[in-house]
Amino acid sequence: MASDSDQISLGISMRFNELLKVACGIDAKTLSRVLKYLVSEKIVRRDVLGTQPFTVRYALTDKGEQIRPIMQSLKTLGETWVLSGLSAQQAQQLKR
């Protein structure tokens, strides 16, 4: 089974709280603001499901999928250069 962070990279749609859990400690207000911006730029799709209570899921659009290799390269760069300069404990906290 894929980890939560792998689900994002696999293009699986996720609920807000699932994204918040894997968002490296950012607060809910910040995540909400970022998601609204990404939706407005058509990078992320916001799907409201007609369940009771209603459920909202977020997924990458085709445009978002095209950005994925760039984001993966930035992640790799950060892990290589930024995390390598931190203590093991600091690096682990940032990876959460």
Q: Report residue 65 as tokens.
A: 């999928």
75-95: average pLDDT: 73
The tens digit of pLDDT for each residue in 4-49 reads 444 455 568 999 999 999 887 889 999 999 999 999 999 999 999 8
What's the pLDDT at 1?
A: 39
55: β partners? 49
Kindly tell me if the per-residue pLDDT of 56 is higher than 60.
yes
Q: What is the 8-class DSSP label of residue 82?
A: I
Contact status, residue 58 vs residue 35, Cβ threshold 8 Å: yes
Number of neighbours of residue 35 by Cβ within 10 angstroms:
17
34 is in which domain, residue-wise? 4-95
Q: What is the domain-level CATH number for residue 56?
A: 1.10.10.10
